[in-house]
Amino acid sequence: VPVEAIRNFSIVAHVDHGKSTLADRLLELTGAIKVNSGKQILDNLQVEKERGITVKAQTASLFYSYQGKKYLLNLIDTPGHVDFSAEVHRSLAPCQGVILLVDANDGVQAQTVANYYLAREKNLIIIPVINKVDLKNANPEKVKEQLQILLDVDHVDVIKISAKLGTGIDKVLDAIIERIPPPTVARDKPFRALIFDSWYDKYKGTISLIYVKDGALSVGKQISSAYMKKSYEVRNIFLLRPYTENVKTIFAGQVGAISCNMKSKEAHIGDTLHLRHQPVDSLKGFNPPKPMVFAGVYPMDQSQLSSLQAAIDKLALNDSAVNATLESSAALGRGWRIGFLGLLHMEVFIQRLEQEYEAQPIVTAPAVTYKAKIFGSKNITKYRGDTVIFNNPVHFPDPQIVTEFYEPMIIATIITPDTYMREIISLCWEKRGVEKLNKAIGNNRFMLQYVMPLSEIILDFHDSLKNISSGYASFDYEDYGYQMADIVKVNILLNGKMVEELCTIVHKTKASQIGKKLCIKLLDTIPRQLFEIVIQATIGSKVIARETLKPYRKDVTAKLYGGDVTRRKKLLAQQAEGKKKMKMIGKISLPRDTFISVLKK
Ligand code: GDP
Ligand code: MG
């Protein structure tokens, strides 16, 4: 296919606005898959199916005839959740245009706005498409107005479709060919390609998704990576259609996957590949995404340390945003501190560890990265004048030596129907938010912007917002630097012994309220044991809350009066099963998910 007949594009949209459905229709119409195969093709991980979100960008190369000429359309499916905006960034690297998909019913939402600005910033052609026009409450004209008011999109550019019914899809394909330019590449130059995604495949090993910027690459060639500075021999090259189709050569302008003798850790997203001994200028890669939320991940049992390590390594390869460092804890042994983009990202990662690798890790409460300026006294030589950075409550510095604490802030964009405004504003206040913008955007909707501490939103802000607004408010956020904050560490003691893994960092004004809540939640979570357990929350040496868990004689078979033997055995087996999911902290056994569940509502 000549370069002029190639189009590289992505579909971007707020979650549930119909990306996957449209992608499937495009695949059907171009003959890549059979019509009505019944399932979404591009969402192929189990977690994605269950949660209905796209986590991993998937690519498909499609052929389409337009005015008697054959075109190659490379579609890159992008995730739509706030936590995964880094994946959206990287998916856009090979693209010259995007389809901005908006639900005719919901209208412009927080991620529509975010995606629009991202595409503009990257100078991409934007094709505005209103989806779901078949819905009986659909109001595409109102949505057109919103697009114009908010994003300055011209009415005449907007295409109306129903991805579900398959109406208007041909207009989308035509617009892709007519409006998006072919990639600017040079086929006569030496080979140069960008790695924009990589994953681990059980059979093929490490696979890198590449965008060929210059020249061509064939199977059997020797290549090198510019950043990692390693050399390989190309074993396989294939197109994703979306099923793999082996090819001998891939040319500039194309997107395809390669496998070679590359180790998982060497596949660096943003790296440039070139022919061995023929160095080139590196392509502009992208900054690795910055983890915002950190949690400890530990094996249930130290004997599972190496299998958990292998599982984390493989998953981390599929997810360059994950960042794991070794750590050890007094109560939980050796494990990892893992950085995630947000709470959903963390939950998806853990769920994948459980489902795809059958790991049963213990996960500690998520925390953000704080900074502390250390008091410049002569007595304190260790840290004097330094700034200490920590994301683990265990490393909370002695407040006596700290002059100022700083916490990470975000700016949240919320779009909501006016009915829920008052409750949303009070939720933002409760989360220590400061209003920056409050603007009517038509269609009885408002756009709010609040500057808030990241720590206040990582746990349950998104869920609360959805609850308050019956699911109608949407939310996106961006980094907003650091701000001075009055924070303290709330300690949790069980029978007088501090359990570091249950301690948490909170704002001073909320400390006693949270301390009480933690104690009550633990009282509910910890099963009764043979002895009494005193649960205390403290700040420094001051006790701020206390609960007592009464002992329990746990002969579960006692009430059966010796009766049926098989039933008795079954009960004992169940009890043993229950025990397996417990973690012994000293003499006390805690359910595996205690560390994270105590902090949630
Ligand atoms: P994504 O999150 O953007 O990938 O959205 P999906 O493609 O998963 O679609 C979300 C929901 O909207 C699914 O239940 C789809 O069946 C539904 N949907 C998608 N397109 C249309 C459409 O044109 N009309 C109607 N009525 N529903 C649609
Ligand atoms: Mg989807």
Q: What is the pLDDT of residue 601?
A: 59
Which of 12, 58, 164, 344 to mutate to test ligand 1, by most ligand atoms within 8 A of the CB atom? 164
Burial class (CB in 10 A: 0-12, 13-18, 19+), 19: buried
Among 43-52, 346-355, 360-369, which is the least confidently predicted range?
Answer: 43-52
Contact 306, 312 (CB under 8 A): no
CA distance linking residue 554 with residue 238, whole number of Å: 60
Bridge partners, 293 (sequence order): 340
In the reported structure, the alpha carbon of residue 397 is separated from the centroid of ligand 1 by a whole-number distance in angstroms of 49
What percent of the chain lies above the pLDDT cut of 70?
86
| Segment 182-194 mean pLDDT | 95
pLDDT at 50 over 70: no
Among 155-159, 265-269, 329-333, which is the least confidently predicted range?
Answer: 265-269
What are the structure tokens assigned to 204, written together? 């093929």
Q: Write the pLDDT tens digit of every residue in 391-433.
A: 999 899 988 888 899 999 999 999 999 999 999 999 999 999 9
pLDDT at 557 over 70: no
Q: What is the pLDDT of residue 57?
A: 44
Residue whose CA is closest, atom 14 of ligand 1?
A: 16
Q: Write the pLDDT tens digit of every residue in 8-17.
A: 999 998 888 9
CA distance linking residue 167 with residue 160, whole number of Å: 9
Residue type, 55: V
Residue whose CA is closest, atom 19 of ligand 1?
A: 18
CA distance linking residue 8 with residue 160, whole number of Å: 22
Q: From the alpha carbon of 161, which atom of ligand 1 is closest?
A: 23
- Spell out where 205-252 has E strands: 205-214, 216-218, 222-225, 231-240, 244-247, 249-251
Spell out the SS3 assignment of 158-202. Answer: CEECECCCCECHHHHHHHHHHHCCCCCCECCCCCEEEEEEEEEEC
Q: What is the pLDDT of residue 56?
A: 47
CA distance linking residue 567 with residue 88, whole number of Å: 54
Q: What is the pLDDT of residue 53?
A: 45
Q: From the alpha carbon of 163, which atom of ligand 1 is closest?
A: 23
Model confidence band, residue 595 (pLDDT cutoffs 50, 70, 90): confident
Which of 21, 51, 56, 172 to mutate to test ligand 1, by most ligand atoms within 8 A of the CB atom? 21
Q: Write the pLDDT tens digit of every residue in 477-509.
A: 888 999 999 999 999 999 999 988 889 999 999
**Ligand 1 shell residues, CB under 6 Å:** 13, 15-21, 54, 80, 131-132, 134-135, 162-164
Q: Write the pLDDT tens digit of every residue in 264-281.
A: 778 877 889 999 988 888
Model confidence band, residue 65 (pLDDT cutoffs 50, 70, 90): very high
In the reported structure, the alpha carbon of residue 15 is separated from the centroid of ligand 1 by a whole-number distance in angstroms of 9
Residue 398, C-beta contacts closer than 8 angstroms, at least 6 positions apart: none
Q: Write the pLDDT tens digit of every residue in 199-228.
A: 777 778 888 999 999 999 999 999 999 888
Model confidence band, residue 54 (pLDDT cutoffs 50, 70, 90): very low
Q: From the alpha carbon of 43, which atom of ligand 1 is closest?
A: 4
- Cα 568 to Cα 122, 305, 411, 554: the distances in Å are 67, 35, 57, 14
Q: What is the pLDDT of residue 551?
A: 87
Which of 11, 14, 15, 16 to mutate to test ligand 1, by most ligand atoms within 8 A of the CB atom? 16
In the reported structure, the alpha carbon of residue 162 is separated from the centroid of ligand 1 by a whole-number distance in angstroms of 9
ipTM of the complex: 0.99
| Segment 352-375 mean pLDDT | 87
In the reported structure, the alpha carbon of residue 17 is separated from the centroid of ligand 1 by a whole-number distance in angstroms of 6
Q: What is the pLDDT of residue 196?
A: 86
In the reported structure, the alpha carbon of residue 576 is separated from the centroid of ligand 1 by a whole-number distance in angstroms of 45
Q: What is the pLDDT of residue 555?
A: 57
In the reported structure, the alpha carbon of residue 511 is separated from the centroid of ligand 2 by a whole-number distance in angstroms of 40
Phi first, then psi: what are they for 421, rounded to 5°? -55, -50
CA distance linking residue 105 with residue 131, whole number of Å: 9
Best-predicted range by mean pLDDT (361-365, 476-480, 515-519, 597-601): 515-519
pLDDT at 244 over 90: no
Model confidence band, residue 242 (pLDDT cutoffs 50, 70, 90): confident
Return the SS3 of 367.
Answer: strand
- Spell out where 441-581 has E strands: 445-453, 474-484, 487-494, 497-498, 504-507, 533-539, 542-549
